[in-house]
Amino acid sequence: MYESLLNSPSGLFAELERLQREMQQTFGSVGRPGSIRAVASGAFPAINVGSTPGAVEIYAFAPGVDASKVDVQVDRGVLTISGERPGERPQGDEKSAVYASERFAGRFKRTVSLPDDVDPDRVTARYRDGVLHVSVARRESTLPKRIEIQ
């Protein structure tokens, strides 16, 4: 009886599986090969990466951290962002209660593999509205050049 429930294409488990697949397609990447350093979704901070002809732009969504204590490093083509976000649970009395505790607290570390043509000496990092924006410039020699026709 259980077996037939599991195997039936319209069974409860198939429905759950379909739901999970749809969630992954909506919120995560499925099918495409992931980076070897990829982490499960929901890691802190969330990271977006963009590319322009002159630079690689990395956005780390890290609200409420002390920007002076965030460590940004580029080492052998890998950008590492690490730091700590303190928990903000107040020192309440015995009448206090916690209803939701979804926000990340503790130490964090995330890494991004950079392309080969970046210049590790020209990195800028800015923190605004809770987003750390790291810009890694590409080497001049790899910028697209217009070739004059003689």
Partner 1 sequence: MNDKQQVTRGERPADVPTLMPRIDVFEDSAGITLLADLPGVPKDRLELRVEGDTLQVEGEILPDTPEGMEAVYAEIRVGRYRRAFTLSSELDTSRIEAQFRDGVLKLRIPKHEHAQPRRIEVQVA
* Min separation Cβ 17 and partner 1, Å: 23
How many residues are given for the chain? Answer: 150
DSSP state of 139: P
* Min separation Cβ 3 and partner 1, Å: 35
Which of 1, 75, 76, 98 is the binder for partner 1 (CB under 8 A)?
A: 98
Which of 120, 122, 125, 133 is the binder for partner 1 (CB under 8 A)?
A: 133
Q: Which parts of 60-89 interact with partner 1 (CB under 8 A)?
A: 61-65, 67, 88-89
Token pair listed for 23: 């969630």
Distances, alpha carbon 74 to alpha carbons 68, 111, 122, in Å:
17, 9, 10
Q: Which parts of 2-31 interact with partner 1 (CB under 8 A)?
A: 27
Count of alpha carbons within 13 Å of 96, Cβ hemisphere only?
7
* Min separation Cβ 52 and partner 1, Å: 5
Which of 6, 16, 46, 143 is the binder for partner 1 (CB under 8 A)?
A: 46
Distances, alpha carbon 81 to alpha carbons 20, 27, 28, 97, 130, in Å:
30, 23, 22, 33, 14
* Min separation Cβ 87 and partner 1, Å: 9
What is the C-alpha to C-alpha distance for residues 28 and 44, in angstroms, rounded to an integer?
Answer: 15
Q: Which residues bind partner 1 (CB under 8 A)?
A: 27, 41, 45-53, 55-57, 59, 61-65, 67, 88-90, 92-93, 95-104, 127-131, 133, 135
